[in-house]
Structure formats: C-alpha cells, structure tokens
Structure 1
Amino acid sequence: MDSPVEIPYQSFIKIDRNSEVSIYMQISNQLINAIQRGFLPFGTKLPGTRALSQILEVHRNTIVSVYDELFAQGWVESLPNKGTFVIGKDQDKPLEIKNFEKRHLENYPKKTGFSFKMSNILDNPFEYSNCEYIFNDGIPDIRLTQIDQHSRIYSSILKRKAHKIGQYNQDGSEFFKQNLSKYLNLSRGLPISKNNLLITRSTEMSIYIVSEILLSAGDTVLVGELSYFSVNMIFQKAGVKIQSIPIDSEGINVEEVRKLCEKQKIRMLYLTPHHHYPTTVTLSAQRRLELLNLATEFGFIILEDDYDYDFHYEKSPILPLASADTNGMVVYIGSFGKSLAPGFRTGFIVAPENLMIEMRKYLGIIDRQGDVLMEHVLGEMIAEGEINRYLKKSLKIYQERRDHFSLLLEEYLGKLIDFQKPSGGLAIWSEWKIPINLMQLSRECAKNNVFIPKTLLYQNKNLTAMRLGFGNLNFEEMDKSVDIFSKTVKMIS
C-alpha cells in the first residue's frame, strides 16, 4: 500500500474553526466519508498522530481523539509496532491512491442508482429575473416593512417569555390562536374560537392539507374559468377532475354551478370571492347566499381562499362566505401578516372542530416542530394593536400606489387596454383591445430591464389579458417601468 503521507488529506479534509462542531469530529466525519466512498480503501495505513497533526495543522491531541473516535466506531484498527489501518472488505479493484485527485470527495453522484416517480405537474411555474423593474403577481413591498421593530418584539419575547411558551408541537401557539380567533371575529365576522384554527406556513400548505383530507382521486372540483395556477397544480396532484366555471363582473356564475350539480356529483368548489384571482372582481352578496344554499342542497364543499382580505381601500370589505355559513359547508383559508416581513407571515385554516382534529394529524406529519415563538410574536402584535396600526399605515401607501398606477396605465395605454381600478388588492387586471403576442411582449420588455413573468399572461383565442402587480413599485419605479412597457408595446404592435 502507498505511503500514508502521499495521500492528499488536505484536499478532502476541510476544517471550519467557526463551526459549532468540534474540530476532532469534523476530521473524524470527513475521514469516515472518505472510507465509505472507497477513497481510503481496505488496508490503507493512516499517518501517525504527529504526522497527520502537522499535515492538518492541528494539535496532536486532536488527532489522538480522531483515531479514538474512528476506532470506537469500528472504522480502523491499531496493530502494534505497525500503525493504524482502515478496516473493511477487500475490493476487487482497489482504488489507486495516486489517482485520488481526479476522484476526490467533491465528485458527488450526478444521478441516483435507483428509479423513482417523476411528475411534471409540480414543475416550478415561477420565473426570476435580474431586471431592475418587475411586474409581479400583487406582492407587498418588503421595503415598507418595519423589520427593526419586528425584530425588537421578537427579541423581547425571546428574553421574557421563551421559557413559558413550552415545547414545540403541531397545535401551534395557543396564545396566537386565541388572539387570531378574536382578530378574525372582529375583522372578518368569523364566530370562531381557537379550536377552529389550524396554523400553517402558507396558503399552499393549507390547500395541500385540505386536499389530502377532503379529496380523493376521481373527485370533481370546480374552479373559476381563470384560476390560481398553483392551487390547480395541487388539485391535479391529488388526481381530481377540474372543471372550470365562467366568471363575469359579479364573480363566478352560480347558475352554471347549479347546472353541473344537477348533472353530476361535485365534491368541492374553490373560489376567491373577495377579489377573484386573477381578475380581481368581487363576488356579489346575492351570489354568496346562492352558493351557500347550493352547497347545502347538493352537499359540496366550498373552499374559500381569502388571499388578500387585508388589502381593501374605499369601503369596508364584504364579509367572507364562512361568516354566514351555518351548516359547516365552508372551509376558509387565509394568510396573516402578508404585509409584514416574509419571516413574520403565516397561513391558517378555519373549519369545524371535527375536521380540525383530522387536519392536526396531517400537520403533525409535515410540520411537527412548527414555529411557536414566531406565532407568539404575531399574537402579541395583535394583542397590543400593533398589527392594526401597521395595516392602516401601509394601506394608505398602497392606495396611493394603486391610484398612481391606474393613472399611468390610462395615460400611456388607455387606448390599448381595458381595466377597472380595483377596490382592493395589489394588482390590476387588464384586457387588451388590440392583437398582441404577450410572450413576445414579455421577452422584449426583459431586454429593456422590465420583467413580466409568464404567470401573469393570459392568452387564448377569446382572451388577451394580463395581471399587473403594483404593490412592490414606488412612484418613480412605476413611471419608468410603465414608460418602457408602453414603448415596447408600440414597437411590436
């Protein structure tokens, strides 16, 4: 066997002196990894403790501890007057140590050695860009968040109350659920207690849990003719049949829902009634009552997604369907803290207690640890009225941005598109009056530093439309991006 000093130990043993893992364990783990992968084959003689300590520039006692650890785990044996050797089965074709540099530990396998199921249903539909200006889906501006203030609250609670919060569990923070239930009662008219709440990480996680419990392969789920693509992906993964219902200026067409119910069994209706995604129209009060009656008559579930309830401007928002549900037909999902910094946001599900018991089982599998400390922070923000003060301040800014963005679209593109200034939300739905290739428009805009993701483009033989988010842009950014956008439109049309 080659001399142990010829093995380039420094090439595969990297020591991080700032790591919380002790140095001797770092070295031990990396030597074990080298043995497992055949780079130190059976019979390889390891350097003496003094020699290896000089190679790795550590104290000799550290290497003594390393060898003790390897011996204790059964990776090496020590032979009197001979040295320390790797234990293992002899290989048919032992690895040539002199070729080690070509096969060092960074050569991780490119592919698995086994087969597995692959699906294109869950392919990431989102695009990213380094363009300076971005029209997004209606996402809040993180620059408006008071991160320093949020961090101080978090730090204060960590010092004062961390020992009182208790162990992590899938039930989440009782303090947060108690305060959130009161908040939803006052702000959204939901007559619930903390026992009707499940805290999740996001809207998508909420819908995934609901789908796992309430849907089976072959079930029929109704969605709007234009609907949220991410949710549709989750439904498709569940193996259900998705049927679309027309949308007009009053929201989803209830008569079409009834016609389908009379012909076949419907398991669920998914809708975003406050501001329909993506068109932003509000479901009328009359249709809300009709849908509740239909759900009771035909026994289908209404999955109500109130993704942007907090963002309303001129008047009070229409209360959720769940607030008027007396027969337990509505499962309500929403988000809390959407206008806060990303780490301070959370999702939730509201449902009757018997369903909540089953949902907690699923949450215990996919998110058992949770984030009770962060939930406690959010609970305190509700209890102290901080969330209301922040929303009031941010809503004023977003309303000003909506008004300015609407004026710009009217000035630059008023003859080319139709749009209505939305009563809430952070995006404007625009339909084109002229024939235009939206994918080409997106590509040309990107060349001029304006990014329009393909998920905002809606084009078929009957419709050419876009959903343009304005919440992330200040006035100056709006002026420049709309100017570039309009010039690009005129160039290609």
Structure 2
Amino acid sequence: MLPFENIILIDKKSSIAVYKQIANSIINTVRNGVLKPGTKLPGSREMASILNVHRKTVIASYDELEAQGWITVFPRKYVMVAEKLPLLHPKKWDETELAYSYDNDLKINFRIIDKSWCVERDTVEIIIDDGHPDVRLSPIDELLKTYRSFTSRQPAIKSANKGTAQGTVRLREEMVKFLSITRGLTINTDNILITHGAQMSIYLAAQLLLNTQSTIIVGKPNYTVANETFIQTGTQLIEVSVDEYGINTDQIEQLCKKKKITAVYVIPHHHYPTTVTLSVERRMKLLELSNRYSFVIIEDDYDYDYHYASSPYLPLASANHQGNVIYIGSFSKLLDPSLRIGFMAAPKNFIVQCTALRKMIDVGGDGYMQNALAELIKTGELKRHLNKTKKIYHNRRDFLNDLLQSQLSEYISFTVPNGGMAVWITLRKDYSVKQLQNTPLLKIIRTDEESNSFRLGFASMNEQEIEITIDLLHNLLKKQ
C-alpha cells in the first residue's frame, strides 16, 4: 500500500477545510499518475487511522471526490480510483505541465558522460558482433546445476557470502592454478581480484593510477570503452600507431624520453580491434621500457585461450618484471558475455586498494556463481569446453575466410587472424563502412571510419549464419 500518511499532507492551520485538503491531495496524486485508475483506496476507517483524523472527515472527502468523479464508492465493499477520470480543464498551447515528476530534467549541475560511442539500434535483421562466444556451446546447464546445488547446502551458503569483494576464496584458489597452467603466471590468492567483467578491472585500475597530472599511452585504433574510461579520470591520453606487429614500441620509447609516462594500455595477444599479435621483440622492449622509465603496463588479455595456428605467446605478466604489470582477463569470452566474471592479477598492495575501491561501488560479486565457476575449473569441465570450442571456432574462422575470399575479395582486404573470435576487415577506398553501418538491415558493433574498417565476429555464428551474413554484406556492397 502507498504511504498515504506521506502523500496526503494536512495543515490544520490552513483556512482550507481538512476534508478538502485530503480530497485535493488525492486528486493531485491521481493527476501525477501515482494512483492509477482502478486502484483501491483504504476504507474510511483505515484512512482515518492512517491520517489521524475523524472518520467523518474522510467520509466527507470521499463524498467530495465521488461527486467530482475521481473515485467510485461501492458501499460496504471498497473505494477505488474511477476507471474513467473527469476531463481536465483546457490548457493554453504554451502551458507546460509534466504528467510525472521524473519527466523533469535535473537542473543541478552534474558530470556528463559522453556515450555517443555506444549508441545502439535494436530493430535490425543481422547483428555482426565484435567477437562473442557461441552461448549455445557453453556449459551453462552444468554451471547452473552446480549453482543450484550450492544454494541448498548450508556450508556452501556460508562460503558464498564471505569475502566476495575480492572474490570467493574457492575461485581465487582455482584461478591460481588455472593461470599458472594456462598462462605461466606465478601468483597466489592475494594477487587476484574477481570483478564483474574485464571492464570493471580496467575502471578500477584507471581510477587508482590516473589523474589530471598523469599520462597514459594507448594504441590507435583501440578499445573505445577503455579510452573513455581513461579520459574520464582527467589523464592525458596519447595514441601511438598499431601495425602488423602490434603497438609501436619505438614511438613509446620516444615519448618516454620527452615526458613522464604513467601507464601503457596494451592488448598484446589479439589487439582490439585489429586482431594483430604483439611481436616477441616488441614484448621484450615494452617490458624493458617499463622497467627503465617506471611506468605500469595494463595488459588486457581478453581472449587469450583462443589461438589456432600454434601455441600462444605467454602474457607479459608471466615474464620477469618488477610487479609493474597489471593483468586483466575475463571469462565472458569463454562462456557468455552476460556472465560478468572478470579478473585482475597484480601486486598485493594494489589488489588491496582495488578491492577497497570496488566496495564503494559494488559490495561484491555473486558468490554462488563464482564458486560454481571454480567447480567447473576444478573438475576439468572448463578445459573440456575450451578444447571443444577451440576446434569449432577454428573451423568457423576457416569457413569465413573461404567465403570472404570467394565473395567479397573485390570489396575488402583482411588478414586471417592466428586466433581470437573476429576478423578485422578493411573496405577498399570506393566503399564506405559508414554507409554499410547506416543500413537498417544491419548492425555492426565495431567500426572505424578513419581506417574504413569493421570487426566481424565469427565465433558466435554457425556456418549457415555466416553464409547469410556474407550474402547480406555482398548485396549491400554491390549496391554502393
């Protein structure tokens, strides 16, 4: 029930009779949409008790409301807001009155976030994502089955509600082993923070490392959301080129000689969006520059587990460094984008501060889900899933490559990536990615107008869906 004692305000010193004050308050509440037609009101006795007035006063106000057509009274049953409300008085054309309070804008100054980079369209026939997993292949059933089992066992209930700001102990223990086996990281549970996806890890690192006096280097092009996160801290963001060997470390070195660099954000395994892999030489140089000029490397390794041509390079974080590499990853690319479980590996003192900051905006993650994921890792289910999907995604990449070569070669250029879940496609100069994006039939999640390129995610589509997508692209480009 609505808190009528707070909605109906009575001023006993007013010259307006109390019963009319009650009636006017109810009318205003109906006008504002708080009380909808057909809503039942408290009976006269109950309303009198709520408002601390005599019952006859409430009866008088209800009589007034019924006479004006605002309520319907069913004797000895109930009172309700009338289904057909009385017509409002005519208004002037220039008269502005909003029906709901929140139709008003907030007039007090507040910080504005530029979200032009994430405008979404919903009504499209085909969506080309930027490299999502195929959720239909994910072991979601097994994960949810384990999740449900934890919610019915008392010890599991207790452990799921402990220490989730940093991540449950069970998941962090499994992560230590998982990251050691798959990525060569030498860490312990104090070096891990579990987050709601990689983006939260990037945000936390940016908030602690960057400010108006700092400088961060990123690749060009780069992960747009990361750039926006860095810019919001007030830091100076400097872009350096990305070529077929990854981010240009010679340019980074020249910048380090001229000014103090706070951090370098790098995606070495499969750079986003171009998919190129950072060469061994540049990896070694970046680590050496980090040690020499004392800047932090924020290593975003969002899809490390998918590599097809050969064994993947180990992360920068696995090399011999001085604790100045913050390693960020996610399980969203393995299981489901909507399963927001990411992680950060870093020195203990930095993890402690990230955990404290995280608690200000998010008390903790879903302990049951974290422990269920830990069980998938422990039992080997996650490894089996990876082995299966790696083969499937590899085949889909090759299938897409054949179609691109046979149907779109006159319109595009591209390099087959060694791994990952997407291909970076550049249109030839006579064709426009902007025009492609503006068609109502198609939504492309990641485009780059400056390079006239877009990212085509293939992992989430089966062969039939890939064929349909390429057919549409072919028809659209043919018409340009």
Aligned to 1:198: 193
Deviation of the 1:147 alpha carbon: 2.9
**Structure 1 unpaired stretches of 5+:** 1-26, 48-54, 87-94
For 2:2 and 2:127, how far apart are their aligned partners in 1? 48
Change (3 A) 1:270 1:35: same
Instruction: Tell me if 1:156 matches 2:129.
Output: no
- 1:234-273 maps to which residues of 2 (within 5 A)? 234-273=229-268
Change (3 A) 1:117 1:28: closer
Match of 1:35 among 4, 8, 15: 8
Q: What is the RMSD of the two structures over their aligned residues, measured on CA atoms?
A: 3.1
Give yes or no for contact 2:166–2:192 (8 Å, CA) kept in 1. no
For 1:162 and 1:101, how far apart are their aligned partners in 2? 59
- 1:69-108 maps to which residues of 2 (within 5 A)? 71=50, 76-79=51-54, 82-83=57-58, 107-108=100-101
For 1:343 and 1:125, how far apart are their aligned partners in 2? 17
Match of 1:217 among 208, 212, 218: 212
Instruction: Tell me if 1:121 matches 2:109.
Output: no
Amino acid at match of 2:442: V
- 1:319-468 maps to which residues of 2 (within 5 A)? 319-444=314-439, 446=440, 449-453=441-445, 456-460=446-450, 463-468=451-456
| Count of residues in Structure 1 that have an aligned counterpart in Structure 2 | 434
For 1:432 and 1:308, how far apart are their aligned partners in 2? 25
For 1:106 and 1:252, how far apart are their aligned partners in 2? 54
Give yes or no for contact 2:204–2:358 (8 Å, CA) kept in 1. yes
Deviation of the 1:246 alpha carbon: 1.4
Identical positions, percent: 33
Change (3 A) 1:41 1:240: farther
3-state SS in 1 of match to 2:118: coil
Change (3 A) 1:57 1:135: closer
Deviation of the 1:151 alpha carbon: 1.7
Amino acid at match of 1:330: V
Amino acid at match of 2:236: K
* TM-score normalised according to structure 1 size: 0.80
Give yes or no for contact 1:221–1:266 (8 Å, CA) kept in 2. yes
Give yes or no for contact 2:44–2:59 (8 Å, CA) kept in 1. no
Change (3 A) 1:167 1:268: same
Deviation of the 1:464 alpha carbon: 2.4
Deviation of the 1:441 alpha carbon: 2.1
Deviation of the 1:339 alpha carbon: 2.6
Give CA deviations for 1:60-110 in whole Å, capped at 9, x if unaligned. xx8699659x63xxxx11327655899xxxxxxxx9969877599973431
Change (3 A) 1:481 1:295: same
3-state SS in 2 of match to 1:199: strand
Change (3 A) 1:100 1:355: farther
Give CA deviations for 1:295-339 in whole Å, capped at 9, x if unaligned. 110111110000111222232211100101431111111102533
**Structure 2 unpaired stretches of 5+:** 12-18, 27-37, 62-67, 72-84, 90-96
For 2:323 and 2:432, how far apart are their aligned partners in 1? 45
Change (3 A) 1:77 1:177: same
Deviation of the 1:144 alpha carbon: 2.1
For 1:175 and 1:66, how far apart are their aligned partners in 2? 53
Amino acid at match of 2:159: I
Give CA deviations for 1:224-281 in whole Å, capped at 9, x if unaligned. 1210111111111111111111112111111111111001111110010001111111
Change (3 A) 1:439 1:34: same
Match of 2:161 among 167, 175, 181: 167
Change (3 A) 1:329 1:84: farther
Deviation of the 1:121 alpha carbon: 2.5
Give CA deviations for 1:467-490 in whole Å, capped at 9, x if unaligned. 111122211111122112112212
Amino acid at match of 2:373: L
Change (3 A) 1:45 1:129: closer
3-state SS in 2 of match to 1:78: coil
Match of 1:147 among 132, 140, 151: 140
Amino acid at match of 1:488: L
Give yes or no for contact 1:338–1:345 (8 Å, CA) kept in 2. no
Q: Which moved more, 1:429-438 or 1:318-327?
A: 429-438
Give yes or no for contact 2:98–2:104 (8 Å, CA) kept in 1. no
Change (3 A) 1:139 1:276: same
Instruction: Tell me if 1:185 matches 2:180.
Output: yes
Give CA deviations for 1:172-206 in whole Å, capped at 9, x if unaligned. 21111111111011111110111001111011111
For 2:360 and 2:20, how far apart are their aligned partners in 1? 40
Give yes or no for contact 2:275–2:420 (8 Å, CA) kept in 1. yes
For 2:308 and 2:58, how far apart are their aligned partners in 1? 78
Change (3 A) 1:400 1:80: closer
Change (3 A) 1:166 1:404: closer
For 1:385 and 1:234, how far apart are their aligned partners in 2? 35
